[in-house]
């Protein structure tokens, strides 16, 4: 079981068909969206348990529960074949994100949130040395983790090769690339974002079809990984919308 913490994440979980064992609500949280959550839970026949705020603080893993925690079934990761099936079923050009060892749960949550906003078909993460779906990630995604398929793979390079075999162009991001908005980013695309500390690893970079950079004129040498990811995702989204 996994804890889903915070109001938006719990609302999104209640909207989905995910199994929820119970919802714990702080006795001191009565206002606003808490009433909506309790109503939604009751309509679905889910047990609502009122607990003291101190107890909820102890249970919370994200430390930002906003007075509500749902105990839900574990997150279901996709495999790469299932991921590739999604754009086919929607009759859309594949649009994937590949995270090369993003370790900060807030970055992963924020990337999931933007991925949902731009209609990406899924995110590939490595099994090791990576943030995975935790209460903090779900909270940071504002509940978008319910909608964005995540695929955990043993080897990112092999996953990239598989995407390429399926006609996906792999776009890396680094400071030594071409300006992102001057490149054609339409068609089947897999966007690679490097780790917070080390960027994209050498082998992954060698397997990218091309590299793009987000121009910068300031003093710091790079952007935050989730910010960089959002900027390029929105350029891909803009170009895809324009080419429809
Ligand atoms: C914090 S940066 C990594 C910095 C790292 N010290 C390095 O040497 O590459 C994390 C990731 O965000 C993306 N990124 C950040 N700033 C970028 C920029 N200006 N252009 C393209 N990608 C960028 C890249 O994917 C990068 O690997």
Q: Does residue 97 have a pLDDT over 80?
A: yes
Instruction: Render 92-152 in DSSP notation, one character per residue.
Output: ---EEEEEES---HHHHHHHHHHHHHTT--EEEEESSSS--S-HHHHHHTTTGGGTS-EEE
Is 22 within 8 Å of 49 (Cβ atoms)? yes
Pick the closest to residue 94 from 170, 34, 156, 24 (CA basis): 170
For residue 214, give the ligand 1 atom closest to its CA.
20
Q: How many CA atoms lie within 13 A of 145 on its CB side?
A: 32
pLDDT averaged over every residue in the chain: 96
How far does residue 73's CA lie from ligand 1's centre (Å)? 34
The topology (CATH level 3) of 2-72 is 60s Ribosomal Protein L30; Chain: A; (3.30.1330)
Delimiting residues of CATH 3.30.1330.30 domain(s) in the chain: 2-72
Q: What average pLDDT score do residues 189-207 get?
A: 98
Task: Return the residue whose CA atom lies nearest to atom 18 of ligand 1.
Answer: 214
| Atom 9 in ligand 1: residue holding the nearest Cα | 199
- pLDDT tens, residue by residue, 68-83: 999 999 999 999 999 9
Query: What is the reported pLDDT for 123?
Result: 98
Q: Residue written as tokens 């690679």? A: 192
The pLDDT assigned to 113 comes to: 98
What is the 8-class DSSP label of residue 75? P
pLDDT score, position 244 = 84
Neighbours of 58 (CB within 10 A): 9
Q: Cite the residue boundaries of each domain of the chain with CATH code 3.40.1280.10.
A: 80-243
| Span 2-9, average pLDDT | 95
pTM above 0.90, yes or no: yes
CA of 222 to the centre of ligand 1 (A): 5
Question: What average pLDDT score do residues 115-137 get?
Answer: 97
User: Which ligand 1 atom lies nearest to the CA of residue 192?
Assistant: 25
Please state which CATH number belongs to domain 80-243: 3.40.1280.10
> For residue 32, what pLDDT is reported?
83
pLDDT for the residue 242: 95
């Amino acid at each position: 079981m996994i804890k889903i913490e915070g109001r938006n994440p719990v609302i999104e979980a209640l909207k989905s068909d995910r199994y929820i064992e119970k919802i714990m609500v702080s006795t001191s949280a009565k206002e606003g969206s808490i009433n909506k959550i309790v109503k939604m839970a009751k309509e679905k026949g889910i047990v609502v348990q009122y607990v003291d705020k101190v107890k909820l603080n102890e249970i919370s893993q994200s430390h930002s529960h906003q007075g509500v925690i749902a105990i839900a079934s574990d997150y279901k990761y996709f495999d790469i074949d299932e991921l590739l099936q999604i754009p086919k079923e929607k009759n859309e050009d594949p649009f994937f994100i590949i995270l090369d060892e993003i370790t900060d749960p807030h970055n992963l949550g924020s990337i999931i949130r933007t991925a949902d906003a731009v209609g990406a078909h899924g995110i590939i993460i490595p099994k090791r040395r990576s943030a995975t779906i935790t209460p903090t990630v779900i909270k940071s995604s504002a509940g978008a983790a319910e909608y964005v398929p995540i695929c955990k793979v043993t080897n990112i390079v092999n996953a990239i090769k598989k995407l390429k075999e399926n006609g996906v162009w792999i776009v890396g991001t680094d400071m030594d690339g071409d300006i992102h908005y001057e490149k054609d980013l339409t068609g089947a695309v897999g966007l690679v974002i490097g780790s917070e500390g080390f960027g994209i690893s050498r082998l992954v970079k060698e397997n990218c079809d091309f590299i793009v950079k987000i121009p910068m004129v300031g003093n710091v040498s790079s952007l935050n990984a989730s910010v960089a990811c959002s900027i390029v995702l929105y350029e891909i989204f803009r170009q895809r919308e324009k080419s429809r």
